[in-house]
Amino acid sequence: MSGLLVATTNRGKVAEYRHLLEGLKVDLITLDEAGISQEADESFQTFEENARSKAMFYAGLSGLPTLADDSGLEVDALGGEPGVRSSRYAGDHATDSDRVNFLLEKLKGVPLEKRQARFKCVIAIASPGGDVKTVSGECEGIIDVEPRGNNGFGYDPIFYLPQYGRTIAELSPELKNEISHRGRAAHKAREVLAALLAGKS
C-alpha cells in the first residue's frame, strides 16, 4: 500500500488524521492532491452508510486504498438532530459559525441539564477491489450556551465536557485526539490499516 487516500476536503479533518495516523508507514493523500473533484453520494440515513459510500466511491475512482468518515452531532433535546445532516444543518453553504449559532438558537431556553449530546464518527476503509471495513467512536458531552475555545472546528466550541470543565475547542490537540469521537474511531482504524500494510487483509 503506497498511499492512503483520505476522502475529505475538510482541512481540519486532514490535519487531525495526519496526527492520528502518525507512525504508520503510509503516505496520506488528499482529494485535492489526487486531483479528484467528484462528490460521493452522502444522502444515506446513517453515518456508516455514508462512510461506506464515500470510501468505496473514492477507492474505485482513485485506485487507492481509501479512508472516509462520516461524523456528526446528536442532540437529545432535538430528537437526535442534526445527526447525518450536521455539516448541512444551517444550509449547504453555512460556515462553522453559522452552524453553531443555528444550533444554539434551536436550543434557546433549554436548560443546561437537558442539553446532553454526543459526537459520533464512523470510519470506513475501502480497497480498490471493493472490500470495506468500518470502525466507530463516540464522545459524550453537553451543548454549552455559548462558544468557547479556538482549538477545534465545527461544533467543537459549544461541545462541553463536564469531566474536563472545558469545551472540546479548549482542549489541547493531543487530548482532543485521545478522547474525541474521531480519535477513538481512528485508534481502531490504525489496527485495520496496520493489517493492510502487513498484507493480512
Distant-in-sequence contacts of 192-199, Cβ < 8 A, 24+ apart: 192/125, 192/133, 192/135, 193/4, 193/21, 193/24, 193/26, 193/67, 193/125, 194/24, 196/1, 196/65, 196/125, 196/127, 197/1, 197/24, 197/25, 197/26
Prediction pTM value:
0.89
Structure confidence at residue 2 (pLDDT)? 67
8-state DSSP, 29: E
- The CATH number given to whatever domain includes residue 75 is 3.90.950.10
Structure confidence at residue 10 (pLDDT)? 81
8-state DSSP, 93: T
Structure confidence at residue 149 (pLDDT)? 96
What domain range includes position 47? 3-197
Distance, in Å, from the CA atom of 193 to the CA atom of 201, rounded to the nearest integer, reads: 9
Per-residue pLDDT of the chain (201 residues; tens, 9 = 90+): 568 999 988 887 888 888 888 888 889 999 999 999 999 988 899 999 999 999 999 999 999 999 999 999 999 999 999 999 999 999 989 999 999 999 999 999 999 999 999 999 999 999 988 899 999 999 999 999 999 999 888 999 999 999 999 999 999 988 998 999 999 999 999 999 988 877 754
Distance, in Å, from the CA atom of 15 to the CA atom of 28, rounded to the nearest integer, reads: 10
Nearest-CA neighbor of 5 among 70, 67, 69?
67
Provide the number of structural domains found in the chain. Answer: 1
The amino acid that residue 41 corresponds to is: D
Structure confidence at residue 68 (pLDDT)? 97
Structure confidence at residue 14 (pLDDT)? 85
Whether the Cβ atoms of residue 18 and residue 5 lie closer than 8 Å to each other: no
32's CB contacts (< 8 A; 6+ apart) are 9
Report the catalytic residues.
70
8-state DSSP, 146: S
The amino acid that residue 56 corresponds to is: M
Whole-angstrom CA distances from 67 to 35, 44, 114, 189, 192 are 16, 18, 35, 9, 11
